[in-house]
Amino acid sequence: MLNWDETDVLATLEVLPEIESDGIWHKYAVKKQGIELVVFIYQYDGDVRIELKTELLDKSVFSMHIMDCPSIVRKLDSTGEYLEFAAPNIVESHHGEPESIRYGARVYVTPSINVPLF
């Protein structure tokens, strides 16, 4: 199950979510400067889908699905305020032993929409 605080997501994205009737998913949609950020959070499965769309196209220009996301964390540092979506990944090393690698995405909406990967 996903560890997250709905209040942190609301405060950072500055929009109310659309919530599926059984609470299975939350959809946040933010539009700024011709770009739409859509974040789906499937809290019970721990899955997150992030999409970027433009007004010029009728489809996504960027789409990312993080499966088994362990947590969403609100952060504030020298780069600004953002949400950090972390995901676990196991990769085999050269010796065949698994190594844990943390990766994910950061989502900014202020001053503009930005989704850098880490």
* Domain ranges for the chain: 6-107
Predicted confidence at residue 14, as pLDDT, reads 97
**Helix (H, G, I), strand (E, B), or coil: what is residue 105?**
strand
Strand pairing partners for 91? 99
What gap in Å lies between CA 70 and CA 104, rounded to an integer? 10
User: Tell me: the pLDDT tens digits for 50-106?
Assistant: 999 998 887 899 999 998 898 999 999 999 999 999 876 544 445 555 454 467 889
What gap in Å lies between CA 95 and CA 115, rounded to an integer? 34
pTM: predicted TM-score of the whole model, two decimal places: 0.84
The structure tokens 């946040």 sit at: 28
Q: Where is 13: in which H helix or E strand? A: helix 6-13
Predicted confidence at residue 98, as pLDDT, reads 45
